[in-house]
Amino acid sequence: MQRPYNFSAGPATLPQEVLTQAADEMLNWPDASGKRCGMGVMEMSHRGKEFISIYTQAEADLRELLAVPANFQILFMQGGGLAENAIVPLNLSTLRSGASQTGGADFVLTGSWSEKSFTEAGKYCNAHIAASGKSEGFTHIPAPQTWELSESASYVHICSNETINGIEFHTLPDLKALGSKAELVIDFSSHVASRGVDWSRVGLAFGGAQKNLGPAGLTLVVVREDLLGHAMAICPSAFNYQTVAKNQSMYNTPPTYAIYMAGLIFQWLKRQGGVVAMEAANKAKAELLYRTIDASGLYFNRVQKECRSHMNVPFFLRDESLNEAFLIGAKDAGLLQLKGHKSVGGMRASIYNAMPLEGVQALVSYMQEFERTHG
Ligand SMILES: *Cc1c(COP(=O)(O)O)cnc(C)c1O
């Protein structure tokens, strides 16, 4: 059965073969040798040997896929990207000030998500805007050389892929080269596992799973070990990275089913050739879509070319009165959830790992046909 192509920004489309496998295993999970254990994954104790094997495999596969160095911990948490906006300052803002003083952090604002992170962090630390693309409507990344980094900041926060505005850091900033002693924190929610990560430039990365890794409910945190143990006294225990790390993400019950699903995605990613193959495929998909938009008289995208996202492609119709007809026609053509985020309007095609090239080709054909008949 060919399902419609689903361009949702998240929760987002998942590979059909993964969903089929999960359905087959729903009532009675088989171990690696194929032996069924009599329970579904949702029904297992998180401390039992069956789930521990699922967890251990998922962690190892993710470490391999993202080439996470041995001195980084992988944490499977809950609360989503938004909770991390509080959890990160609770854990890291006092890295350089010491726990008895209010710490500081710098923020580079490139869109809605980094703005949210800045506002939330202000509840827990001195949050400072080092650079902002807001006055230009969030269409570019301010050049790192122009960032006004504060002397005492414990970390610099960036959103490495702005899901709503469609802006992506294709290279992570090198804070050391900019003369900063701060750690780089990246919110990679919406492009995790779509490309490699230069861990030499990163202190902590976090992301909700529901864009590119699986179902909602799981939050991935990858943190360098020496950043653990600096949490503010008011930090909730379940959100203290050191506590979570010491307990292999089982200080409290982890989101077991979401970890299992993410684990199936990791194995699927490995079958696709890993993150290197994904990166090339994602680039090809994005280039096809942007080329179509740029060549058209009806559609446009406002983002500067060098920082256009390979994952989330917002675009607009020059005649906005055609928006409704565009969306209805798209649905009839088997192309779902293309409506743009309410804060920017227009359209948005999210083309995560699980979106095949054929899906983008179908979208491009539809866009061209719509322009011919409405242009
Ligand atoms: C979706 C998203 C979030 C929010 O995640 P929740 O799981 O809803 O809290 C945060 N940051 C980015 C970049 C996102 O795309």
End-to-end CA distance of the chain: 34
The Cβ-side half-sphere exposure at 128, using a 13 Å CA radius, reads 18
The pLDDT of residue 2 is 84
Q: Whose CA is nearest to atom 4 of ligand 1?
A: 81
What are the percentages of helix, strand and coil residues in the chain, rounded to 5?
40, 15, 45
- Catalytic-labelled residue, pool 29, 61, 147, 211: 211
User: In sequence order, what DSSP letters do the residues of 171-218 get, joined into one string?
Assistant: S---TTTTT--SEEEEE-TTTTTSS---GGG-SEEEEETTTTTSSTT-
Measured CA distances, 33 to 40, 174, 272 (Å): 16, 45, 22
Report the pLDDT value the prediction gives residue 278, as an integer from 0 to 100: 98
Within 10 A of 198 (CB to CB), how many other CB atoms are there? 11
Instruction: Please tell me the distance between residue 296's alpha carbon and the centre of ligand 1 in angstroms.
Output: 31
SS3 at position 89 = helix
Asked if 76 contacts 63 with a C-beta cutoff of 8 angstroms, the reply is no
Task: Establish whether 268 is a catalytic residue.
Answer: no
Question: What is the position in ligand 1's atom list of the atom closest to the CA of 82?
Answer: 9
What are the backbone angles phi and psi of residue 262, rounded to the nearest 5°?
-60, -40
Domains along the chain with CATH numbers: 17-270 (3.40.640.10), 274-374 (3.90.1150.10)
Residue with CA closest to ligand 1 atom 10: 81
283 flagged as catalytic: no
Q: What is the pLDDT along the chain (375 residues), one digit of tens a residue?
A: 789 999 999 999 999 999 999 999 999 999 999 999 999 999 999 999 999 999 999 999 999 999 999 999 999 999 999 999 999 999 999 998 877 788 999 999 999 999 999 999 999 999 999 999 999 999 999 999 999 999 999 999 999 999 999 999 999 999 999 999 999 999 999 999 999 999 999 999 999 999 999 999 999 999 999 999 999 999 999 999 999 999 999 999 999 999 999 999 999 999 999 999 999 999 999 999 999 999 999 999 999 999 999 999 999 999 999 999 999 999 999 999 999 999 999 999 999 999 999 999 999 999 999 999 997
Task: Supply the pTM of this predicted model.
Answer: 0.98
**Ligand 1 neighbourhood includes 79 CB (under 6 angstroms):** no
Q: Pick from 74, 359, 54: which is nearest to 209 by CA?
A: 74
Give pLDDT, residue 166.
Answer: 98
Catalytic residue among 61, 106, 113, 339: 113
Q: Which of 158, 186, 189 to mutate for ligand 1's pocket (most ligand atoms within 8 Å of CB)?
A: 189
Residues 6 or more apart whose CB falls under 8 angstroms from that of 342 comprise none
- Is there a catalytic annotation at residue 176? no
Closest residue CA from atom 14 of ligand 1:
189
Q: Which letter, b or e, does each residue of 23-62 get, where b requires 16 or more Cβ atoms within 10 Å of its Cβ? A: eebeeebeeeeeeebeeebeebebeeebbeebbeebbebb
Atom number of ligand 1 nearest to Cα 159: 13
Residues 6+ apart with CB under 8 A from 198: 171, 172
- Taking the centre of ligand 1 as the mean of its atom positions, its distance from the CA of residue 300, in whole angstroms, is 25
Q: Are the beta carbons of 225 and 71 closer than 8 angstroms? A: yes
Report CA-CA distances (Å) from 151 to 33, 104, 178, 180, 238: 55, 10, 12, 7, 31
Please indicate whether residue 117, judged by its CB atom, sits closer than 6 Å to ligand 1. no
| pLDDT number for residue 97 | 84
